Amino acid sequence: MSFDAILHTLVTWTPYLAEGFVWNILVSLVSMIVGTVIGGGLALLRLSPRRILVRFSLGVTEVCRNIPTFVFLFYLAYIIPVEIVYDGGVFSFPAWLKAALALSVAVVGFVSDNLSVALREWRAGHVMSALLFIPNWTSYLLIIIMASSTASVIGVGEIVSRCNTVIAAVGNNDLMLWIYLYAMLWFFLFSFPLTVLMNTIKARMQKRAV
Amino acid sequence: MRTTLWPQAFRIRVTRALALLTVILSALAAPAHADRLDLIQKRGSLIVGVKSDYPPFGMLDADGKLVGFEADLAHDIAEKMGLALDLRSVTSANRLQKLEDGAVDLIVATLGDTQQRRQIATLIEPNYYASGVNILTRKDSGITQWSDLRGRKVCATQGALYNKAMAQRYLLDLQVFNGTRDTKLALRDGRCVGYMYDDTSIANDLLQPEWQDYGMPLASAMISPWAIAIARAEKGGRLETMLGNIVADWHRSGRLIALEAKAKLPPSDFLAKANTLWNAKEVDGQPVCQRLPSGAWPVQCRNKALLSSTDVGGLYGLSLMIREKTGFNITLLHDHYDQRLFLTGLLTTLEMVLVCIVGSVAIGFAGAALMRVRNPVVRGLTVTIATFARMTPPLLQIYVVFFGIGSYVVTRYGWSFDGFVVAAAALSLYAGASNAFSIATALKLAAPTHGGNPRHYRTEVFRLAYVPVMAASVNVVKATGMASTIAVPELIYASTGILAEQGNADVMINLLMLVYFLIVLAVVRLFSLAERRIMGSAVPVGSDGAIEAEGQKS
C-alpha cells in the first residue's frame, strides 16, 4: 500500500474515528463524575470525628484502589444484564455505561485520597494547596481517557474498536499498523498539551502556596 | 432342641406371600404390555421415523423416497436386527407423539438429548451425533475464534434457543431478524459480520453455490448431542440395550464418520472424539466403554450434561449436587480440562506479573540513566519515547506491536510474534516510562543530600522513588489482563473460555474477580514488606502514597 493510499484512507475515515474519540471522552467524563461524587463522600467521611466512619471509608477506598479495572470491566459486562425489567418497563444498560462504571472505581480511590488531603489543607486555611486538587483531577482524567480505550473489549464503539471496524472494512492488513498509530496520535495530541498546561498551573500554584 | 418362634406352616405361607408380592410388584414396575421387540420381530419389519425437511439428515429424493444421514442410520439398524425397514416421515412437532402412540418403533430425527425429553421418551445412550451453534461468515472475515466476535454485530434468527445464551457468553451485539431468509439477506447486505445458527443447517447452506465465498470458521459452541428415541415404556427393556449396543458399535467402527462424509457434512468434532473414546482401552486391555453390571455405560462414556448427582460420587457428585441445589455450576471442582485451563491461566498471569514488575523497574532505571547522560540527542530521544509511551493507551501499544508490526513481519519474514512477549514488553514499557521519570527525579533530588556517603545516597533515592515506582507496579499488575486481548492464555482468557463453554458466568466471573483482587493485594503487601526490609522503617504504605504517585504521573 503506497503512502498516498494510506494517507487517503486515514483521511477518509477520520470523521468516523473522531466520533469514536468523542465516546472515549464521554465515557471518561461520566466515570470521573460518578467517581468524584462517591469518592468525595468517602473523603468527607475520612475527616469525620467518628472512628468507625473513618475506618469504613478507608476500607472502601482500599478496595477501590486494588480492584483491577480491566477485570472489573469484564465483571460488569457479564454480571449486569443487557436489559433490566423494572416496574413494567424495560431499561437497557448500554455497554458504554458499564465501561464508565468500571473505570469510576479507580476514580473513587483517587478522589477519596486526594480530596481528603485537599479538604484538610482547606480547613487549615491553605487555600492554594487545597486548590491543587483541580490540576490533579484533570491529570487523572487524562489517565482515565487512556484507560477508556479498554472499553473496546466489551464492544463500546470508541476509537480503538472503530479502528478494528475500519481494518475489517478496508480489508488490508498492512493498514493495521498505520491506523493504530493514528489512533495513538489522537490520544497523544489530546493529552500532551493538557498535561503541559496542568503542570504549568500546578507549578505556579505550588509556588504561591509556599 | 429349640423350637422356633413361628410354626413351620406359617413361615411357608409368609414366604409364598412374599414371592407373590414380588411378582406383582415387578409386573407393575414393567407395565403389563408385550415387549416391543417381540412385536417388531413378529411383524418382521422395523418402523423408523425420520425427518423429511432437514437436509442432509432427512429429506425426500426425486422419487419421493426418504433419504439422508438419518435414513442411512435407520437402514443400518434394520440390517443389524435382520428386519425389513419401513421409513416414516416425522416432524419436530409430532415425533415424540408418534413414539408414544406406537405409530413408529423408534425415531432417528435430529432429536436433541435433554433432561426434559428423557422424562417423556427413552433416549438411547450413547448419542449418535451432535449439533452446535456456529456462524456463517465471509471466508476473508479474519474471524477464527468466538472471542473475535465480542461486541461485533452478529445476525441471528428470532426464537433460536441459544441466542440469549450466546449473546451473554460472548458479549455479541445481536441483530435479530424474523426468519432465516431475512437473516441471510441481512448478512448478504453486510449488516453484520456473521449469521449465527445451527451448524448442521449452515453446513447445508455451504453446499449451495450462492454461499461459496462464505465459511464456518469456528468450533461449534453449545454442543447439543442427538439421541435415537423409543417409547417411554421401553425404558430398561431389551430394545434399549440392543439399540445402545448398535450405536456404540457405530462409534467404534467409524461407521458414523463414514456416513457423515457420505452426506457431505463437514467432519464433526463430536464424532471424532466419540470414535477415540469408544476405542480407548484401560491399562489391562479392557475397553473403557463397556456396560457395567447394572447395564449402564460408565460415567466417562455418557453425556456429561445430563448426569445427576446420583450417577456419580466424590467431588464430581458434590459439584453436581451443588448445581442441583443452588444453580451454581462449579465445574472447576471436577472438570480436569477446566482445572488445567484455569491453572495455566493463573500461572501465566503470575508469570506476567513478575516479568512486568521486573521489566518496568529495569526500564525505569535504564531510562533514568539515559536521561542523565551528557549527549543531548540520547537524552532528548529518551524523554520523547518515555513521554509518548506514557501518553498513549497501553492497549493500543500492544495492538501496534502485535497486529501492526506483527503483520508486517509475518508477511515479509514469516516470523510471528509471541503474544506473551509482546504484552509483557508493551506493559513494561508503559510502566517503565513513568518509572524512568520518577527515578530520574529521585536521583536529581537526592544528589545534594548524600554528602559523599554512597549508602546514604542509595537509601535517599530509594525513599524518594519508592512510592511512585510501587504505584506504577501495582498499576501494571492490574493491567496484565490486557494480554487476553491478544489471546495470551492468562486468567481472563481462561475464565471467559470456561464460562463460554459451561455457561456459568456467575461462578467464573466472580472467581476471576476474587483471584485478581487477591493478586493485586499480595503485590501491595509484598511491596510494603520489601520497603520495611530495606528502609528498616515502618512507613505506612497504601493510604495516600499510591495516589500521590498517580498525581505525579501527570
DSSP-assigned states of every residue in A11-35: HHHHHHHHHHHHHHHHHHHHHHHHH
Highest mean pLDDT: which of A140-154, B198-212, B491-505?
A140-154
Residue B326 corresponds to which cell in the numbers above? 443452588
Span B113-151, pLDDT tens digits: 888 888 889 999 999 999 899 999 998 888 888 888 888
Which of A127, A75, A126 has its CA nearest to residue A99? A75
* Cα B89 from Cα B58, distance rounded (Å): 9
Q: Which string of DSSP letters, residue by residue, matches B58-88?
A: EEE-TTS-EESHHHHHHHHHHHHHT-EEEEE
Span B247-305, pLDDT tens digits: 999 999 999 999 999 998 888 889 999 999 999 998 888 899 999 988 889 988 888 77
Is the pLDDT confidence value at B74 over 90?
yes
CATH at residue A174: 1.10.3720.10
* Cα B112 from Cα B109, distance rounded (Å): 9
Q: Could you tell me the pLDDT band of residue B171, with boundaries at 50, 70 and 90? A: confident
* Cα A64 from Cα A113, distance rounded (Å): 11
CB-based contact B69:B57 (threshold 8 Å): yes
Q: Is A85 on the interface with B (CB under 8 A)?
A: no
* Cα A93 from Cα A72, distance rounded (Å): 16
Q: What average pLDDT does range B410-437 have in this prediction? A: 91
pLDDT of residue B7: 62
Q: Report the residue from A75, A176, A177 with minimal CB separation from B513.
A: A75
Q: Between chains, do A160 and B399 touch, taking CB under 8 Å as contact?
A: yes
* Cα A50 from Cα A44, distance rounded (Å): 11
Which of B42, B45, B57, B36 has its CA nearest to residue B100? B36
Write out the residue range of the structural domain in which residue A198 sits.
3-209
| Counted domains in chain A | 1
Residues 6+ apart with CB under 8 A from A32: A104, A107, A137, A140, A141, A144
CA distances, B332 to each of B70, B231, B488, B492, B517 (Å): 36, 36, 20, 15, 19
Q: Could you tell me the pLDDT band of residue B22, with boundaries at 50, 70 and 90? A: low
Q: Between chains, do B509 and A79 touch, taking CB under 8 Å as contact?
A: yes
Q: Report the residue from B171, B391, B400 with minimal CB separation from A195.
A: B391
- What is the number of other CB atoms lying within 10 angstroms of the CB of residue B412? 8
- Any idea which residue has 425404558 for its cell? B235
Min Cα distance A79 → chain B (Å) is 7
pLDDT of residue B144: 87
CB-based contact B56:B69 (threshold 8 Å): yes
Q: Which domains does chain B have, with CATH numbers?
A: 36-49+73-128+227-306 (3.40.190.10), 130-224 (3.40.190.10), 336-553 (1.10.3720.10)
Which of B432, B550, B493 has its CA nearest to residue A106? B550
Count CB pairs under 8 A between chains A and B: 161
- First-last CA distance in chain B: 105
pLDDT of residue B308: 76
Span A68-109, pLDDT tens digits: 999 999 999 888 877 777 877 888 888 899 999 999 999 999
Residues 6+ apart with CB under 8 A from B49: B88, B89, B90, B95, B98, B99, B103, B104, B106, B107, B108, B109
ipTM metric: 0.93
Is the pLDDT confidence value at B547 over 90?
no
Residues 6+ apart with CB under 8 A from B275: B251, B252, B254, B256, B257
Q: Could you tell me the pLDDT band of residue B33, with boundaries at 50, 70 and 90? A: low
CB-based contact B378:B370 (threshold 8 Å): yes
B542 DSSP 8-state letter: S
For all residues of chain A together, what is the average pLDDT? 91
Does residue B201 or residue A184 have the better pLDDT?
A184
Q: Between chains, do A149 and B509 touch, taking CB under 8 Å as contact?
A: no
Q: Between chains, do A188 and B407 touch, taking CB under 8 Å as contact?
A: no
Q: Which string of DSSP letters, residue by residue, matches A189-203?
A: HHHHHHHHHHHHHHH
